[in-house]
Amino acid sequence: MTAPFTLGLVQMAPAATVADSLEKAAARVAEAAKAGANVVCLPELFATPYFCRNQDHAAFDLADPIPGPTTQAMAAAAKAAGVVVVAPLFERRGPGCHQNSLAVLGPDGGHLGVYRKMHIPHDPGFEEKFYFAPGDLGFKTFATPFGPIGTLICWDQWFPEAARATALQGALVLCYPTAIGWHPSEKAAFGEGQRDAWITVQRGHAIANGVYVAAVNRVGIEGSGAGYGQTLEFWGSSFVADPSGRIVAQAGIAEEALVTAVIDPRVVETQRRHWPFLRDRRIDAYGDLCRLYNEGGQS
């Protein structure tokens, strides 16, 4: 059994330029390491504005290959701090082929692997299908020097299948880099319920899989009706839930923050011994989950 390690979540807003955002993120990684973090996770698309607020062909200029400037900068930050960094980015695969991805970078500056967002949303202010092809690498758990971590991205967090598939690969924690917030016009009527649902579904993943779950969001208001389109208020609230679904650390709604929590394999072991959901799964009976919808009922 691996030793406990500390996870750090960097809740932040992007800076004025990509270069400034990379510098800011590197400083936050160093701060997290000083606070005891062994693994540091940044928010979804942390180095850029959330350009998916509308459809703008010019925004493709923000994309980066892997390896490329974003991963090189964060690999250097990981090596300088001696930590693992989960670095999300807008990945350019080639002309006309882009994905919403993350790279996992080791404490020696090496690349431990890539995950590409599997579920791509399409809603007003979240026009991601215009920009991103669906992930083609499947669900991923990465063996880091501190322990196995699973990575998913934002919209993936609403799908129990994604959490289960990743947890079954041995992850101790599911890390969800995120960019989620309110349409200001809807906040008064629906905001509290939307944020509560976001937290609740992820706490459910922690319980159902006997695993830690961590969501790291951006903060701030982006957009003014021009440029990248609709205005969004990102609601922060980055948190870590333990395998019983209890929130053990959480940031506020509006401020940049560093959230840290200990990921303890013994807690995962104990929780799964007492609530053995993985043991009791009926893998022989789940075939219809591979269908989009089963109009005829049980087949």
Q: Which residues are catalytic?
A: 44, 117, 154
User: Which 3 state secondary structure label does DSSP give 143?
Assistant: strand
Residue 256 DSSP label: -
How many Å from the N-terminal Cα to the C-terminal Cα in the chain?
A: 41
What CA–CA distance (Å, rounded) separates 41 from 26? Answer: 11
Q: Are strands 239-241 and 247-250 parallel, antiparallel or unpaired?
A: antiparallel
| CB 2, CB 146: distance < 8 Å | yes
Q: Where are the beta strands (DSSP E) in 134-244?
A: 140-144, 147-151, 173-177, 181-182, 212-216, 219-222, 232-235, 239-241
- The helix, strand and coil proportions of the chain, stated in percent and rounded to the nearest 5, come to 35, 30, 40
Assigned token pair, 271: 């929780």
